[in-house]
Amino acid sequence: MVALPEPDAEILAARDEILNDLKRLIAAPDGVIDHPDEIKPYETDALTAYRQTPLGVVLPETTVEVAAVMKYCHERGVKVVARGAGTSLAGGALPMADAIVIGVSKMIDILDVDYDNRTITLQPGVTNLGVTDIVSPDKFFYAPDPSSQLACTIAGNIGMNSGGAHCLKYGVTSNNLMGVEMVTTAGDIVRLGGKHLDAGGLDLLGLITGSEGTLGMVTEATLRILHSPEGARPILYGFETSAVAGECVDAIISSGIIPVAIEFMDKPAIHATERFAHAGYPLDVEALLIIEVEGSNDEIDTMLGRIQKIAADFKPAYERVAKSAAESLAIWKGRKSAFGAIGRISPDYFCMDGTIPTGKLPEALDRISSICDSYGFEVANIFHAGDGNLHPLILYNANETGETERAEECGGDILKLCVELGGCLTGEHGVGVEKRDLMVEQFTPAELDLQRRIKRVFDPKYLMNPHKVFPLVDNPGLAGPILSPVQMEAGE
Amino acid sequence: MTGAVLKPGTVADVQDAIRDAVMDRVPLAIEGGGGLSGLGRPMQTERTLKLDGLTGVVEYSPSELYATFRAGETLVDARAALAEKRQRLPFNPPDLTGLYGDAGGPATMGGVVAAALSGPSRVAVGAARDYVVGVGLVDGQGQALKGGGRVMKNVTGYDLCKLTTGAFGTLGAITDATFKVLPFANSEVTILAHGLDDAAAQAMMSAAFKSPFEPVGAAHLPASAAAAIGGAGGAGAITALRFEGFPDSLVYRTNAIRSFLPAGLELTELEAEPSAVFWEAVRDVAPFQAPDSRALWRISTAPTQGPKLVAEIAQSLEVDAFYDWAGGLIWLAVAVDAPNVGAEVIRPLITAQGGHGTLMRADQSVRAAVEVFEPLSAPLLQLTHGLKRTFDPFNALNAGRMYAAV
């Protein structure tokens, strides 16, 4: 288990005083949660292996309230963990015993819908799917589509730079986020970007996207919305080996065709999801690809024809084009409910999130399978194959002594493999607490220190989600190598 | 360019040059080809670190859709290397050296990243920042660092690629950059509308993006700008919508979109080759290239606000403008003898509308007297200074190019 630091005894002892102070800053009578029963849902997120009870939970409704709370916490030295819907698979929203949680569940106003500029501006507690729901009557949509989109919030999407199945074509959150209003740790309200297409000055918007709530708190977001395509249709392919499926993905992309999505599932994942969603997936193949294309009916036919011609060279054991909207929906329902489906066949699972260059897909599959074998765990693989984002799900049972630790170790080995193959530790879930100590696999001490010093610029007292993302060290971001010229000459 | 010029051949040479500069307390100007040295606040530097010797393709994997170039690789060579595999940089970076005459060498990939240069396709597919997936840089203490990697999806730690893109070399000397690349479009075609005023043109461009037919470019050239590039179908203003894809799909979409556009437009088409030539001219800001020596502003605002902003500026200043990004990117030429080349008129109007402006071309004395980049609010300036100190504690790298002490 990843170690959590000892809580600050002074802050714990001052809990009542702090919560009373916070109640004065929030207008709504139920805006500060302090009863243990009501705090309970905030003890963990979707990485349920970790739990901590925070001091209390604050649910502001306005930017001004967030600013007042942030300013108070900054001055009082209270740690802050920002929370969207708590769907993080990496422990990004895991609180600390000596921290308050600021939740965005009451910040759900839509402030502006502007089709001429293709933007929507809203408070960040709106759910991901909620954005599309608002603009879909006018045939618009918001592109990033994480599997948790029914529940997860825009706040969390920005914090983790969330992706989804369709980001092969449309990009991840950072590519679809045009501006934010943000409260700094000192309580200043700043704006980054807006309805214009690039921002002036340093790209602070790019820096805070994916910063996992460690640099400030977003209180308003302006998102790119797009007109929906005329239609979309998936095609399913089954292959006798995962390696051949990987080669087929490679061949399609090499040919110059970039579908909207290319999703991969291996046999255990196919079986689990089929039992759950009845999508009509073939059960006798080792690997399944869902490839989706968009456009008019004719364009879709033509594009699928080109893909079919390429795929034929790889002798797929199964091929089926969705023939109706209902069939398409069922195919995607299966994929999007995959994590839930796995949850039904295994008491517990860890969902990994590494990314690799796509050409390494067959090698990665082979070696993931060996790693899991060596630990004696079953693994189900669900990948965004088009962009090399892997989600191996390690199946374990937390009630067996020591199994959680071994499953974590197994996951660590898989992520190290991703780095070794030229990829990274996390594609869209974030580092959180889960992968914090693996950061040394991807970054040099100098690079990690630079990142901690960047955090210090935004958060001089190191209060925002302080035990996440970077391995714990004493005085993070203060012990860095800022050398005098004389020291540099001496080669220190 | 002033004083000694250092031409490193390796990353280690770059590290040495920066350490030497810190020890000698001599701030460095950092440049690639040097063609954009007229962009930014004038710097007090006595040494130039010129990275145009760091050439070449480090790694290129067409099937994995990424390519890594050394900073000094020219844009022309990088495009050619990708074109061999029928691929390209999707954000279509412009070569803006033509705005500054023959002062410097060719545009480089380091410059594309440092100046965050994005072309007409930005409105549809994203900007330089969206396609830079990895950078190598040397910070102000001579440390070689990397940000990002080779893959498109990466949320491992802070996004140093985006922070470096558009930092004008103030945070580090870029030594290499990795880009997501995409296949060439199979073909392209451009629909032109003729004789629209700016407001009607913007309405047409917004209408096109409110259709499902995916235009990849939308620009409006009033008559004078259209005349300056010539050849795109007669006299008068032209408004252009670009489409890419397979030929059968292009025929379908360029027909189908007409029902989404305002009625009564006089429309013509540019086939593949003239279409590409037209968009290159828009991309590289051909209407205002040297020998045009007027002061030049680049303004980014919400697309629907573009014509309104230009009209308001034109009430007090004589200006010549054209629009890219559906109206959201304005190139605005102002006579050099206008007081402070219009800064006191232009900046408050941008602030009122939302957006930002950069004084892309003006005499050195003007660039010393007025802010070149959009002025920052106090908290943002404080964060910017903090980041500068984090990367470059001794102010050794392009000090003062963006803001005082940054």
Asked if A459 contacts A215 with a C-beta cutoff of 8 angstroms, the reply is yes
Regarding whether B108 and B21 lie in a shared domain, the answer is: yes
pLDDT reported for residue A327: 92
Residues A317 and A209 grouped into a single domain: no
Lowest model confidence (mean pLDDT) among A278-292, A306-320, B226-240: B226-240
CB-based contact A190 B380, cutoff 8 Å: yes
Q: How far is CA A477 from CA A357, A470, B182, B347, in A?
A: 31, 10, 38, 37
Distance (Å) from the C-alpha of residue B16 to the closest C-alpha of chain A? 11
Nearest CA to B86 out of B187, B164, B6 is that of B187
| CA-based nearest distance B20→chain A, Å | 9
The residue range of the domain holding A155 is 110-227
Same domain, A221 and A238: no
Nearest CA in chain B to A384: B153
Best CA proximity match to A389, nearest among A415, A350, A420 = A415
CB distance A208 to A182 below 8 Å: yes
| Contact (CB<8Å) A202/B210 | no
Mean of pLDDT over chain B: 95
Question: B247 and B178, same structural domain?
Answer: no
Q: What is the pLDDT of residue A257?
A: 86
Whether residues B214 and B144 share a domain: the answer is: no
Contacts with B, A 358-387, CB within 8 Å: 358-359, 384, 387
Residue B251 DSSP SS3: helix
Task: Give the residue numbers spanning the domain of B268.
Answer: 187-283
Same domain, B246 and B293: no
Q: Which residue of A has its CA nearest to B154?
A: A427
Decide if A479 is inside a domain.
no
A422 at interface of B, judged by CB pairs closer than 8 A: yes
Residue-wise pLDDT tens digits, A457-484: 999 999 999 999 999 988 888 866 677 7
- Residue ending a domain, choose from A70, A103, A136: A103
Domain count, chain A: 4
For residues A416 and A351, membership in a common domain is answered with yes
Mean pLDDT value of segment B171-198: 96
Whether residues B141 and A443 touch (CB distance < 8 A) is answered with: no
Query: What's the CATH code of the domain at B244?
Result: 3.30.70.2190
pLDDT band at B230 (very low <50, low <70, confident <90, very high): confident
Q: Are residues B15 and B159 in the same domain?
A: yes
Largest Cα–Cα distance in chain B? 68
pLDDT of residue B63: 87
Residue of A nearest to B122 (CA): A197
Query: Cβ-count burial of A71 within 10 angstroms (0-12 exposed, 13-18 middle, 19+ buried)?
Result: middle
* Shared domain check, A256 and A213: no
**A36 is a domain residue:** yes
Mutate to test the interface with B, among A198, A418, A461 (most CBs of B within 10 A): A198
pLDDT, position B234: 65
pLDDT at B104: 86
The verdict on residue A287 lying in a domain is yes
> Distance (Å) from the C-alpha of residue A400 to the closest C-alpha of chain B?
31
Q: Is the dihedral of CA B281, B287, B292, B295 positive or negative?
A: negative
Query: How far apart are alpha carbons A251 and A245 in whole angstroms?
Result: 10
Contacts of A199 in chain B (CB under 8 A): 300, 356
Q: Is residue A421 within 8 Å of residue A455, measured between CB atoms? A: no
Identify the pLDDT of residue B232: 59
Report the residue from A194, A302, A431 with minimal CB separation from B248: A302
pLDDT of A306: 95
Q: Give the pLDDT confidence score for residue A258 in this predicted structure.
A: 86
Residue among A186, A194, A431 whose CB faces B157 most closely:
A431
Look up the CATH number of the domain holding residue B348: 3.30.70.340
Q: How many domains does chain B have?
A: 3
Which tens digits make up the pLDDT trace of A42-80? 999 999 989 999 999 999 999 999 999 999 999 999 999
Residue A153 lies in a domain: yes
Q: What is this model's ipTM?
A: 0.96
User: pLDDT class for A253, splitting at 50, 70, 90?
Assistant: confident
Per DSSP, the three-state class of B46 is coil
pLDDT at B26: 95
Q: Are residues A142 and A215 in the same domain?
A: yes
B336 and B243 housed in the same domain: no
Note whether A21 and A96 are same-domain residues.
yes
**Residue A452 forms part of a structural domain:** no
Q: Answer whether residue A144 is part of any domain.
A: yes
pLDDT(A363) > 60 = yes
Q: Which tens digit of pLDDT belongs to each residue from A366-416?
A: 999 999 999 999 999 999 998 899 999 999 999 999 999 999 999 999 999
* Domain stop point among A167, A197, A227: A227
Co-location of B107 and B228 in the same domain: no
Q: Which of A80, A103, A126 is the last residue of a domain?
A: A103
Judged against a pLDDT cut of 90, whether residue A487 lies above it is answered with: no
CATH of the domain at B93: 3.30.465.10
Structure confidence by residue, pLDDT tens digits, B269-286:
999 999 999 999 999 999
Q: How confident is the model at residue A343 (pLDDT cuts 50, 70, 90)?
A: confident
Q: Are residues A99 and A126 in the same domain?
A: no
pTM of the model: 0.96
- Pick from A175, A257, A355: which is nearest to B151 by CB? A355
In the predicted structure, residue A337 carries a pLDDT above the cut 90: no
**Residue A484 falls within a domain, yes or no?**
no
Q: Which of B283, B311, B338 is the C-terminal boundary of a domain?
A: B283
**Cross-chain Cβ contact B61/A454 below 8 Å:** no
Residue-by-residue DSSP string for A333-365: HHHHTHHHHHHHHSSEEEE---B--GGGHHHHH
Asked if the C-beta of A488 comes within 8 angstroms of chain B's C-beta atoms, the answer is yes
Is A52 found in the same domain as A157? no
Does A431 contact B206 at a Cβ distance shorter than 8 Å?
Answer: no
Same-domain check for residues B362 and B393: no
Q: How far is A173 from chain B (nearest CA, A)?
A: 10
A456 domain residue, yes or no:
no
- pLDDT for A480 equals 64
Q: Cβ(A155)–Cβ(A125) under 8 Å?
A: yes
Asked whether residue B18 carries a pLDDT value surpassing 80, the answer given is yes
| Nearest chain A CA: its distance from B205 CA (Å) | 9
Question: Which CATH number characterizes residue A140's domain?
Answer: 3.30.465.10
Q: How far apart are CA B299 and CA B331, in angstroms?
A: 7
Q: Are residue B20 and residue B39 in the same domain, yes or no?
A: yes
Record: contact B122-A171, CB cut-off 8 A: no
Closest Cα in chain B, distance from residue A398 (Å): 27
Query: Do B90 and B47 have their domain in common?
Result: yes
